[in-house]
Amino acid sequence: MSTTRLTTLCTRELRGLQVSCLRRPFVQRASLSLATSGTASHNAASGASLKSLDSGLNSRLIISRSNGLTRSVSTGPGAAAETYVAYGMTQRLFEACSNQADYKIPQATQKGVEVPLTKSGEHLGTSDSWWYKGSYSILEMELGLQPTFSTWSQITFLHMYLLTVRLRALPTRDSVQTYSRHLIDHFSHNAEHRMDVLHDIASRSIRNKYLKDLFIQWRGIIAAYDEGLVKGDAVLGAAVWRNLWKADSTGPDGKDIDWTKVAWVVAYMRRVLSELSKMQEADIVMALSKGSSAASGVFGLSPVDKRMAGVDR
How confident is the model over 277-304, as pLDDT tens digits?
A: 999 888 888 888 765 444 457 898 788 8
Averaged pLDDT for residues 193-221:
96
Alpha-carbon gap, residue 243 to 252, rounded angstroms = 14
Residues 167 and 296 in one domain: yes
Is the model's pLDDT at 218 over the cut of 60?
A: yes
Residues 99 and 58 in one domain: no
Alpha-carbon gap, residue 14 to 18, rounded angstroms = 6
Residues 16 and 158 in one domain: no
**Count of structural domains, the chain:** 2
pLDDT at residue 257, as a whole number: 87
Residues 260 and 155 in one domain: yes
107-144 pLDDT, tens digit each: 988 888 899 999 889 999 999 888 987 444 344 557 88
Residue 133 belongs to some domain of the structure: yes
Q: Where are the alpha helices (DSSP H) in the chain?
A: 3-22, 26-31, 42-60, 77-99, 149-167, 173-197, 204-231, 233-244, 259-277, 281-289, 303-309
Residue 80 belongs to some domain of the structure: no
Residue 78 belongs to some domain of the structure: no
pLDDT at residue 64, as a whole number: 37
Instruction: Give the range of the structural domain holding residue 1, as residue numbers without chain letter.
Output: 1-62
Question: What are the phi and psi torsion angles at 307 (to 5°)?
Answer: -65, -40
Is the model's pLDDT at 244 over the cut of 70?
A: yes
DSSP single-letter state for residue 296: S
Is the model's pLDDT at 233 over the cut of 80?
A: yes
Residue 67 belongs to some domain of the structure: no
Residues 101 and 214 in one domain: yes
Residues 195 and 278 in one domain: yes
pLDDT at residue 141, as a whole number: 59
Of 44, 62, 80, which residue sits at a domain end?
62
| Predicted structure pTM score | 0.73
**Distance between start and end Cα atoms, the chain:** 39
Is the model's pLDDT at 177 over the cut of 60?
A: yes
Residues 53 and 129 in one domain: no
Residues 13 and 103 in one domain: no
pLDDT level of residue 80 (50, 70, 90 thresholds): low
Of 62, 80, 111, which residue sits at a domain end?
62
pLDDT at residue 57, as a whole number: 41
Residues 95 and 236 in one domain: yes
